[in-house]
Amino acid sequence: MPRITFIEHDETIHEITAEDGATVMEVALDNSIPGIDADCGGQCACATCHVFINDDWASKIPAREEAEETMLELAEGVTEFSRLACQIEINDALDGLQVRLPAAQH
Ligand code: FES
């Protein structure tokens, strides 16, 4: 099963073993990772699951769709590395994925 590392804004690290097919948001909630509220339950309608995915991993994840782009406009501190965790489905190719959490959501 893929291993996902969540890194909080203060560099606190959470290493989690995830289920294939779950989203990064679901894994975060199931493991009480701070900073992911997911108010809309994964409907791409709140932006409270904003995370940063670095370049090394970005190419392994499908690009943002229009709805995700629109919701990210509501998030704080958005960068080119910003994604909504509810829009990233985990599979074996993402084993070792590192997910950084924004300071604004702690
Ligand atoms: S959980 Fe609401 S946009 Fe991701």
* pLDDT digits 0-9 by tens, 4-27: 999 999 999 999 999 999 999 999
Residue 106: inside a domain: no
Q: Which domain holds residue 32?
A: 3-100
* pLDDT digits 0-9 by tens, 37-93: 999 999 999 999 999 998 889 889 999 999 999 999 999 999 999 999 999 999 999
Q: Which helix (H) or strand (E) holds 26?
A: helix 24-30
Residue 26: inside a domain: yes
Taking the C-alpha atoms of residue 61 and residue 59, their distance in angstroms, rounded to an integer, is 6
Residue 25: inside a domain: yes
Residue 20: inside a domain: yes
Count up the domains in the chain and report the number.
1
Residue 105: inside a domain: no
Report the CATH number that the domain containing residue 37 is assigned in CATH: 3.10.20.30
Pocket of ligand 1 (CB under 6 A): 25, 38-40, 42, 44-49, 71, 84, 86
Q: What atom of ligand 1 comes closest to residue 85's alpha carbon?
A: 4
Indicate the pTM of the whole model.
0.94
DSSP letter string, 31-65: TT-TT---TTSSSS-S-TTEEEE-HHHHTTSPPPP
Residue 72: inside a domain: yes
Residue 17: inside a domain: yes
Are 49 and 37 within 8 A, CB to CB?
yes
pLDDT at 67: 96
Residue 89: inside a domain: yes
